[in-house]
Amino acid sequence: MVIRSKSGSLVLLAFCEVAALALWFSASAVVPSLKAEFDLSDAQVSPLTSAVQIGFVAGTLASAVLGLADRLDPRRFFMVSALVAAAANAAILLLAPTSTAVLAMRFVTGACMAGIYPVGMKMATTWARSGNGGRGDMGLLVGLLVGALTLGSAAPHLVNAFGGSDWRFTIAAASLLAVVAGLAVNLVGLGARLGKTPPFRPAAALQAWRRPALRYANGGYLGHMWELYAMWAWLVVFLDASFRQSMPEEAAAWWSRLATFTAMGVGGAAGCFLGGWLADRAGRTTVTMAAMAASGSCALVIGFLFAAPPWLLFAVALIWGITVVADSAQFSASIAELSDPDYVGTMLTVQTCLGFLLTLVTVQLLPHLVDALGWSYACAALAIGPFLGVWSMARLRRHPDALKLAGGRR
């Protein structure tokens, strides 16, 4: 039976997002174990994350051109995507970790995320309360979903920390969670803001860059994404290498996994919730610019703390984990408020497609920068994106369409 209440539907939807998106970083979370068991270099394991990113870009591009997020029942789209992704992820257990087939499975997993992440956000926006004449909750609702994404992305690090050194346990657990999510999402209700099914218009996706307000919001999102996924993909490797300077290898591995989950998952989820709550009150551009300034500052500092006392490094990582994603949902909320209601799903899909295309650069680039410059300057390079993102959101703040954001709270 489908849940009809707003709170019940959103709680279940958040659970489904957490469970399904555990697939995203399931391979990245076990990188230290794979490196130890198979004697792999950073350059050899980085494609495990990049293959998912490439798959997601391909999936979102196809979805945007075909308008799938607006033309299909979002629950069915989510279900099929989650089940196929779970099967692809589980297939890794039957393959050699260094084989091309594993990369193909990670690509399929990433492509299926196009039916989970942006579609889940669209489902959440259908329950949003209008900000006209009162205080809306679009930012908070999307923040809850992105918080679920954050927690789901970090979950494999927690499973890996308590599941022992066997990376197979983490992969299997993530796949099982995705199956549960794919079945449970059919019980999620949809709100009154669900748009009509639009006609097939491939050119509609181009609105994301043709309309100035949407272009500025997407520009801010690109600055944010330059930093985010490189940080998420490599934080555990950075902390593991740093902790090994002051503690035994086994202890460093365990603490780095737990610290990564806390910074990414707990801190990130809290940041998404707080960012959404504040943005509905103080304004979208205000919160996004403040969050990017803070996270960019953390990126500048944290690399220079390599081999510092673990408690100090963790404190900075936690602040970084909170601020690096506190603004994420607000870019999506901005797109939902600035877009034609019938094309919200497509505009969100285009936004995520562009952002994750950019992450292919930074996720692959960071290990090469580490080899060439060391962790200090490699991490500092991630600050470029958020500082450019602040500039783009400042442009949006001055645009007349900014009055559509958060009921006029720019």
Per-residue model confidence (pLDDT) at position 195:
64
pLDDT digits (tens, 9 = 90+) for 215-242: 899 999 999 999 998 888 788 889 988 8
Tokens of 302: 């944290």
For residue 98, what is the DSSP state? T
3-state helix, strand, coil in the chain (%, to 5): 85, 0, 15
6-189+208-408 topology per CATH? Growth Hormone; Chain: A; (1.20.1250)
- Separation between Cα atoms, residue 377 and residue 174, nearest integer Å: 34
Residue ranges, the chain, pLDDT below 70 = 25, 27-29, 31-32, 41-44, 46, 130-136, 148-149, 151-165, 195-205, 208, 406-410
Query: What confidence tens digit (pLDDT) does each residue in 261-315 have?
Result: 888 878 888 888 888 888 888 888 999 999 999 999 999 999 899 888 989 999 9
Could you tell me if 17 and 144 are in contact, meaning their C-beta atoms sit under 8 angstroms apart?
A: no
Angle between helices 212-243 and 42-66 (to 10 degrees): 160
Residue corresponding to tokens 């943005």: 279
Place of tokens 């991490």: 379
Per residue in 181-210, pLDDT tens?
Answer: 999 999 998 887 776 666 656 666 677 677
Q: What pLDDT sits at residue 134?
A: 46
| Paired tokens of 46 | 């980085």
pTM of the model as a whole: 0.77
Quick one: CA torsion of 230, 233, 234, 236, rounded to 10 degrees?
150
Q: Where are the alpha helices (DSSP H) in 95-166?
A: 100-112, 117-125, 138-162
Asked whether 235 and 264 are in contact (CB, 8 A), the reply is yes
CA distances from 378 to 225, 227, 371 (A): 16, 11, 9
Tokens of 308: 């510092």
Here the tokens at position 131 are: 């900000």
What secondary structure does DSSP assign to 162-221, as a single string? HS-S-HHHHHHHHHHHHHHHHHHGGG----TTPPP-----GGGGGHHHHSHHHHHHHHHH
Of residues 355, 311, 281, 410, the one with CA closest to residue 118: 355
